[in-house]
Structure 1
Amino acid sequence: MLPRRVVVSGVIATVVLGSAVGVALWASREDPSYQPPASHVVQPGAPGQPGRSLSGSDLSQVSPPGFTAADSLFIQGMIPHHAQALEMTALLAGRTTSPDVTLLAKRIEVSQSDEIARMQRWLAERSVPSAAPHGGAGHDALMPGMLTPAQFDQLKQARDGEFDRLFLTSMIRHHQGALTMVEQLYATGGGLEPASDQFAREVNADQSIEIQRMQQMLAKLG
């Protein structure tokens, strides 16, 4: 599970959300009227003093934290990560006859295309360049789980059942890399800004669900 961190009067309060977070985020997309349960936020007290539960009116007085370098690097790296997933789904024509694989790839194509546009807006609204500075997580760097040129060429050469197995295996690893990037975001102090936190959690929830789906499909292929 991922930590939910809220800055309250200069103190970072950590609220751990259960596994229901992923389900809630998924349900909210399927049913716009769905309202996930509210988080319980506690402001830590002074040493030796108990914490204090914050009401909605208390939280309304708290200014949301801004984005950090960790947020920028996460978004800058996730764009080329998503872009490669789209390159992988573009290979299906003439290489697979599986309706299940085709449907999965279409879902990935639609969702990640939308997310790329969303990340590009995030960068533009904050006047952050689309690529990280030299040595950072830029477009020329391979993010966790991304295919090397040799691995991508291998996928291009595959056909039929061989392609399906290799596509699913590669996309599972690709999605797992995205989950690693989410973990790295929080481990390096990012995800405090509401927008970057929400996006990271949606990536974590959606791609976790798709990993399970692909693992089931792969098992059926044998």
Structure 2
Amino acid sequence: MTSRRARTLAVVTLAVAVPLVAFMMIHLGGDTGTGAVQPVSAPVTSVASPSASPVPTDLTVIAPGRPGEPAATRAAHEVRDAGPAPHNSLDVWFVRMMIPHHAQALAMAELAPDRAADPTVRAIADRIRASQGPEMGMMRGWLQTRGLPAEVPGHDHGTMRGMQSPEAMRQLAAVRGADFDRLFVQMMTEHHRGAIEMATNLLTVGSDLTLNEFANSVATEQSVEIDRMREILDR
């Protein structure tokens, strides 16, 4: 009876001791031999660091065609770092002529604040200064990007359509009030017609898309301004 009780006690002791030892080994890491119990490190979850996705090699770019022509699809590497857009000699001539043409329009517009009587005339002059000044900067930049000079040695810019003579410019500067308004409208209308003609011609012969867009803008905006100035004369 005593022997059976001893065996039962031994079994119970083992049943309790074995799980306890296992628990300590798992959670405490056991004895390292130095008497110190080492904790078990928490499991490390590996997190992949984000990396740059490879650039696809099959990308395509839609390149717009000239006015009236369909767009073309090209491989991306064919248009990357392409540099300035293609242009021809007529593009260059247009820019070189339009810069002094704009310059004279600005000279006329700068007279209006102190001389014009009609607020519509002053508003048109303000619009010309606000638009054509930056446009001249764009055209100079277009030439500089291509290493082209803006000057045309020996060319008489006064022969361009719409350009006003030095005498006409002096006369405009000498008048005030309603006389200035009437003369300004007459001179600027003719000046705008010259710019529209130059722009329209470029649309048929130019190859640079940026200049084509610019020429279209010039023709459209200056046509609107001509209509507004015509209303002043009709009053």
The structure whose residues are more often helix, as a share, is 2
**1:112 and 2:132 matched:** yes
Q: Distance in 2 between matches of 1:153 and 1:141?
A: 15
1:180 and 2:197 matched: yes
SS in 2 for 1:180: helix
Instruction: Single out whichever of 116-125 and 210-219 deviates more from structure 2.
Output: 210-219
Q: Is the Cα contact below 8 Å between 1:73 and 1:132 reproduced in 2?
A: no
Which residue of the partner structure matches residue 193 of structure 1?
208
Matched AA of 1:196 = L
Residue 173 (structure 2) pairs with residue 153 (structure 1): no
**Are residues 133 and 185 of structure 1, via their aligned partners in 2, closer, same or farther at CA, if it must alter by over 3 Å?**
farther
Deviations, residues 80-115 of structure 1 (Å, cap 9, x unaligned) = 000001110111243222221111110111100010
Q: Could you say which residue in structure 2 is the equivalent of 1:89?
A: 109
Deviation at 1:183, TM superposition (A): 2.7
Instruction: Report how many aligned residue pairs link the two structures.
Output: 166
Distance change >3 Å, CA 60–CA 218, structure 1 → 2: farther
The Cα offsets for residues 142-196 of structure 1, whole Å up to 9 and x where unpaired, read as: 4210101111112112221111011011111000000111133245x22x21111
Would the aligned equivalents of 2:200 and 2:219 in 1 still touch at CA under 8 Å? no
Do structure 1's residue 167 and structure 2's residue 184 form an aligned pair? yes
- Aligned partners of 1:59 and 1:182: how far apart in 2? 29
Give the alignment's Cα RMSD to 1 decimal: 2.4
TM-score (structure 1 length as normaliser) = 0.67
Partner SS state of residue 94, structure 1: helix
Extract unaligned runs of 5+ from structure 1.
Answer: 8-13, 16-40, 43-55
Amino acid corresponding to residue 198 of structure 1 in structure 2: E
Report the equivalent of 1:33.
none
Higher relative contact order (CA 8 A, sep 6+): 1
Distance 2:164 2:158 in 1: 11
Which residue of structure 1 lines up, in the alignment, with residue 231 of structure 2?
216
Q: Distance in 2 between matches of 1:199 and 1:216?
A: 26
CA displacement at 1:68 relative to structure 2 = 0.7
User: Which of 145, 150, 156 is the matching residue for 1:130?
Assistant: 150
The residue correspondences of 1:23-102 to structure 2 (distance < 5 A) are 41-42=69-70, 58-60=72-74, 66-102=86-122
**Residue segments in structure 2 that go unaligned for 5+ positions in a row:** 1-63
Please give the alpha-carbon distance, in whole angstroms, between the structure 1 residues aligned to 2:107 and 2:152: 22
Matching residue's letter, 1:101: V
Write the distance in 2 (CA, Å) between the matches of 1:106 and 1:60: 43
Q: Which amino acid aligns with 2:175?
A: A
What fraction of aligned residue pairs are identical, expressed as a percent?
Answer: 35
Q: 2:144 and 2:101 mapped to 1: Cα distance?
A: 19
Deviation at 1:59, TM superposition (A): 3.6
